[in-house]
Amino acid sequence: MIGQQPLHAIMFADVSGSSKLYKEMGNEAAKAIVDEAIQFMSMLTIVNDGTVVKTMGDEIMARFDSCDNACETAIAIQQRCVRESQLNGLAIRIGISFGEVLITHDDVFGDTVNDAAFVAHIARAHQIVLTQSVIDDLEHSLLQACQMFDRISIKGDSVHAAIYRLQWESSRQNHRATQLMPIQEVTHLEQQHLLSLCQRDKIITLLPEQLPFHIGRDDQKSDLPVDHELVSRDHCSIEFRRGKFVLIDHSTNGTFVTREDQPDIYLRREEFPLQGDGEIGLGQSTQRAGQWLIRFHVKDVDDAS
């Protein structure tokens, strides 16, 4: 019998680098190392009042009654992984979501499960990535260790939502390469990130939460319609990722971008970060775009006065 459970935290913990290990060490030796990782992840789940739902190759799925227990388990797993030299360089990536789930005798289903699996695959080695639903339920001490990681469209959802990284490492360690935004500063910083677009007599100013922004010939689906034969119906879009505005080309004829003194950069089904001042040509170079030329200006945090 399938019953509706109120709320559970779902955790996926995935051993990354296992394919390389199998190639380098052979099947038996590699499997022994992966099995050991699965064993200690399962043990730490149980110790922290969680339930191991299932293991799938080099991945474990678990559920918890609280987000605090799920996050404490994830931290313990990462700390144990770092200490275990016998893991031969393997790393673990973890994703956690929180919400209603359907529980059968041996498995768990629902959007919360899908969201946890999705952010687990976004996480890089040694990272713990959380959905907004986890952040909303965490106690203060754990919340202080969380920082905004990205704003994404979670699979199956058209609305962009923030996801967060749980900083489990010692504060004495230097992580400048992946420095992130503390939660209490998110609103402040987003108000300082601005993108301005100018096309003919239109001037559009965008904040990160207003993205994605679509440009194309289809005036029903485009936020900025451009009626030109070289422009595709869904030509390109702009998203905000890890503190940057990113232009993504979806078109047949491509998109040309120039920044300040740089020549045109041609994109076709590619992405490019928008920084400073520049111009965008849809389906043709910026020199030939004429009245269809789009000028942009990005105001970053560092530019704010």
Rounded distance between C-alpha atoms, residue 87 and residue 31, angstroms: 11
194-217 average pLDDT score: 86
- The two tokens of residue 164 are 């967060």
pLDDT in tens, 114-141: 999 999 999 988 899 999 999 999 988 8
The three-state DSSP-derived secondary structure of 66-124 is CHHHHHHHHHHHHHHHHHCHHHCCCEEEEEEEEEEEEECCCCEECHHHHHHHHHHHHCC
Greater model confidence, 80 or 154: 80
Output the CA–CA distances (angstroms, integers) from residue 73 to 60, 82, 118, 262, in the order listed: 12, 14, 19, 49
Is pLDDT above 60 for 243?
Answer: yes
Percent of the chain's residues with pLDDT above 90: 43
Lowest pLDDT segment from 57-71, 139-153, 234-248: 139-153
For position 188, what pLDDT does the model report? Answer: 47
Rounded to two decimals, the pTM is 0.57
pLDDT in tens, 249-303: 999 999 999 987 678 899 999 999 998 999 999 999 999 999 999 999 998 654 4
Distance of CA 192 to the CA centre of its chain: 21
Name 141's Cβ contacts closer than 8 Å, sequence gap at least 6: none
Check if the beta carbon of residue 70 is closer than 8 Å to that of residue 146.
no
For position 172, what pLDDT does the model report? Answer: 34
218-240 average pLDDT score: 93
Rounded distance between C-alpha atoms, residue 51 and residue 72, angstroms: 14
Is pLDDT above 70 for 179?
Answer: no
Is pLDDT above 80 for 182?
Answer: no
Is pLDDT above 70 for 74?
Answer: yes
When pLDDT is cut at 50, 70 and 90, the band that residue 11 belongs to is very high
Q: Which letter, b or e, does each residue of 11-33 get, where b requires 16 or more Cβ atoms within 10 Å of its Cβ?
A: bbbbbbbbeebbeeeeeeebbeb
Is pLDDT above 60 for 1?
Answer: no
For position 87, what pLDDT does the model report? Answer: 52
Which helix (DSSP H) or strand (DSSP E) does residue 186 occupy? helix 186-192
When pLDDT is cut at 50, 70 and 90, the band that residue 32 belongs to is confident
When pLDDT is cut at 50, 70 and 90, the band that residue 190 belongs to is very low
* Distance from the first to the final alpha carbon of the chain: 60
For position 181, what pLDDT does the model report? Answer: 44
**In CATH, which of 3.40.50.2300, 3.30.70.1230, 3.40.50.300, 3.30.70.141 is domain 3-186?**
3.30.70.1230
pLDDT in tens, 47-63: 888 889 888 888 999 99
61-83 average pLDDT score: 91
Nearest to 266 by CA among 282, 242, 289: 282
Residue 19 phi, psi (nearest 5)? -60, -45
Output the CA–CA distances (angstroms, integers) from residue 129 to 61, 181, 276, in the order listed: 15, 14, 30
Q: Parse the chain into domains and list their residue ranges.
A: 3-186, 193-303
Lowest pLDDT segment from 97-106, 187-196, 268-277: 187-196
Question: CATH says 193-303 is which class?
Answer: mainly beta
Q: What's the length of the chain?
A: 305
When pLDDT is cut at 50, 70 and 90, the band that residue 21 belongs to is confident
CA 240, 233, 205: angle at the middle one, nearest 5? 35
